[in-house]
Structure 1
């Protein structure tokens, strides 16, 4: 991060005066455990913690300054504001306006992280790039990502996430992207959005923050998105499989742990499972093309891309194969994961460890019933469902089962499921593990990693 004075920080975030204004800030942190000398500690509140309880520890660990909302005791360089998260965003917006790097902002219902990491993987071979740490895509993560770059970086890539209207608009105002991309539109976070039309409007609001001359890239295979973007008086380019798309991918074929697609007559090999990852690769190409990366160079780089953790991650542990896709879940990503299980599981006993799809609002039960039907129709041999709507998924799967030996297990929660893995997982099985973050199904992946299965 480019250095600046605490005095400047106080003015930018409109904080109460500090008594040592000439100290220099060299970094920003919200974690007292990772503070370095010269950092400013922002005391933010989370669901399970309050940063104000750790201000003293942050100072002890080397922080030169702290930004707080309430009194935390006497001390130098304590800046008080009304809202530390908003102050963090204000600082990031100011910083973005004064650093010359290009910003790529990615949003959508699915594929944001993989598309971002693909674009970074390719572009970092041509430019000095910075990307989000993990899935830092909210009002805290986006500012931290922006502030992590310095004047020597040429490109910054961020994700913009949302679970309620207005969040993308706020984030794009901070990021001020040069390139904004919408990966896709699916039913997700319906508890906050209510319907698909609201999701479209929310994702399309990423265009509001585009810098002058900036480019909007959207998935042209989603007609509702295209129709809406036609009304916002902003030029855009489309990518997708449709014949009318400006940037087109053809012949998307997923084969086992890899796949391929054709772009501009050239076959592109993608070393990831699932058709959705081929769409992500096409989105990444749409981005890279704006920075004059050649297709041959893109193809060479993407062929060495590695799987993103907990996103269709293939893990071979002794006699079982695990498809770890438990980072998050919505109806579309469930369908993609089940398709991947069917393709990879030919000749194997296919087990689906299924968690809740969270934040679907009033449509939650209906969509979980639909999931149960998908499970039955996809050729799964064993369903192990856990969580509040596990019974709904199981009932629907049983009603639509086309074979007598279809096994179904229902558990109250992930812990109970993990304690019963030996009841339904056998040697040589292929096991898909998928659910929303709240299900914490990575615990099942860990258990499967260490469990011994008899041959």
Structure 2
């Protein structure tokens, strides 16, 4: 964050009520968590599962320059404490971020989509660093709290902000887009996710496309053309979206796509690229990143060199070589499309005689279609190289039942109520030489299974 006096910060969030005695104090960062406050931070007392007003005193003790509050604070006995009073602390955070973005000389790239937005953000930011000073969303800071934190933590020397925008209900992407006012926007795709909040796939598509509502007038909207209904909707809602995809007739195509065990190849802009990420989904993520980089003045030669040094993304298709095991760790989130892509990666990495294990967690927030979508996952598993299915959770159990019914091969199935019970059984189920895919929604906490797998040893 650019160092900002308390008085100016208060005005940025629309407040005239602050401690005049501390008006010249300078804030150098922002925080919403008293456990991670750094000296010089402005602490926003947000109300959620915990009320941030109960932790204002602790934040100030840890060195916060000031705190943004909407009511009296528990345990704060100092009447002269450096406070900024607002009606709504979350609204103040959003307004402050929007003002900060407008005052800065930043180019903002906004990325949304049901699948691949984190990977696309990661690839885009990595490649843009060859040409610009880049700030990107920490982890998956993509909601009404994460996005303003992303904007406000951009430094004075940064030139480009690459920001994710996520949504669980209609209207959220439009609000985030109006806050960030992106110069460039990307829709990676739209699939049957968060159906509890949206109800149907068309509503998901409309939500993703709404990232264009806050887009700067001259900015491009890049949309995945491989989902025709999504591309058609974009063409109806906006004058001239730029379409990318595997179709050779779209505006920005990827051709000659080849999926290898640990990488992919594609011809983009008449140049053969080696992409150090497996799976067809990552080709599209890379293509979206190229669309952004090209718009911002990068040559395909520079992009091709940058993509070679792309580091892996933790828990998102990360391939780990362990003691006599190979592990595909993709347990940050899951939905039908990403599950299908992960199974394709498993199939591509499997050696001819290698046993393939799938530790599958439930796919969350799929609404009334949840059981049917898990049955469809079972069909995908039946058609894959999976030999041992470890189903974690009741919905994964539905997938397991359908996989057993649809398969024409020997498929061992073990079902568990939760991750902890599955972890207790892993040592007896896993064999040396296995290729293991671990994937499920965040709520399944399958990273615990990954930790157990990392600890296994074998007498070979």
TM-score by length of 2: 0.96
**SS class of match (2:314):** coil
Q: Return closer, same or farther for 1:80/1:257 CA change in 2, 3 Å cut-off.
A: same
Post-superposition offset of 1:56:
1.0
Partners of 1:46 and 1:454 in 2: CA distance:
49
Matches within 5 A, 1:53-202: 53-72=54-73, 73-75=76-78, 76-202=81-207
Cα pair 2:196 2:367 within 8 Å, conserved? yes
Residue 245 of structure 1 pairs with residue 250 of structure 2: yes
Residue aligning to 1:414: 419
Q: CA RMSD in A?
A: 1.3
Give the Cα separation in 1 of the matches to 2:38 and 2:384: 51
Compare 49-58 and 315-324 and name the one that shifted more. 49-58
Aligned residue number for residue 263 of structure 1:
268
Following superposition, the deviation at residue 345 of structure 1 comes to 1.3
**Counterpart pick for 2:28 among 26, 29, 32:** 26
Contact 1:274 1:336 in 2 (8 A): yes
* 1:379 aligned residue: 385
Q: 1:74: how far off? A: 4.0
Unpaired segments ≥5 residues, structure 2: none
What is the aligned partner in structure 2 of residue 280 from structure 1? 285
Q: CA deviation at 1:8?
A: 2.4
After superposition, the C-alpha distances for 1:117-144 in whole angstroms (9 at most, x for unaligned) are 1111111111111111111101111111
Q: List per-residue Cα deviations over 1:331-364 (Å, max 9, x = no partner).
A: 0100011111111112210000000000000000
Aligned partners of 1:173 and 1:427: how far apart in 2? Answer: 52
Which stretches of structure 1, 4 residues or longer, exceed 6 Å deviation after superposition? none
Aligned 1:216-227 pairs, distance under 5 A: 216-227=221-232
CA contact (8 A) 1:169 1:205 kept: yes
Greater shift in the superposed pair: 358-367 or 290-299: 290-299
Shift of 1:85: 1.6
**Matches of 2:448 and 2:6, distance apart in 1:** 43
Distance 1:68 1:388 in 2: 42
Question: What's the secondary structure of 2:432's corresponding residue?
Answer: coil
When structure 1 is superposed on structure 2, of 254-263 and 27-36 the one drifting more is 27-36
Q: Which residue does the alignment assign to 2:233?
A: 228
Q: How far has the Cα of 1:60 moved from its partner?
A: 0.5
State the alpha-carbon separation in 1 of the partners of residues 346 and 208 from structure 2. 29
| Aligned 8 A contact 2:17 2:86 in 1 | no
Q: Is the 8 A contact 2:127 2:306 kept in 1?
A: yes
Provide the C-alpha distance between the structure 1 equivalents of 2:43 and 2:385, rounded to a whole number of angstroms. Answer: 52
Question: Which 10-residue stretch deviates more, 34-43 or 266-275?
Answer: 34-43
Contact kept? 1:272, 1:306, Cα under 8 Å: no
More divergent stretch after superposition (133-142 vs 9-18) = 9-18
Matches of 1:192 and 1:360, distance apart in 2? 9
Mapped contact 1:176–1:209 kept (Cα < 8 A): yes
Question: In the alignment, what sits opposite 2:358?
Answer: 352
CA–CA distance in structure 1, aligned partners of residues 59 and 131 of structure 2: 38
- Structure 1, gaps ≥5 residues long: none
How far residue 9 of structure 1 moved from its aligned partner, in angstroms, is 2.5
- 1:367, distance to aligned residue in structure 2 (A): 0.3
Aligned partners of 1:372 and 1:289: how far apart in 2? Answer: 40
> In structure 1, what is the Cα distance between the partners aligned to 2:135 and 2:53?
29
Contact preservation (8 Å) 1:390, 1:411: no
How has the CA–CA distance of structure 1 residues 454 and 400 changed in structure 2, closer, same or farther, with 3 Å as cutoff? farther
**SS of the counterpart of 1:115?**
helix
Q: Which range moves more in the overlay, 77-86 or 198-207?
A: 77-86
Contact 2:111-2:163 at 8 Å conserved across structures = yes
Which residue in the other structure is 2:41 paired with? 39
Alpha-carbon separation, structure 2, partners of 1:286 and 1:160: 18
Out of 27-36 and 443-452, give the one that drifted further: 27-36
Change beyond 3 A, Cα 1:262–1:67: same
The answer to which of 67-76 and 145-154 deviates more is 67-76
Structure 2 counterpart of 1:396:
402
Aligned to 1:11: 11
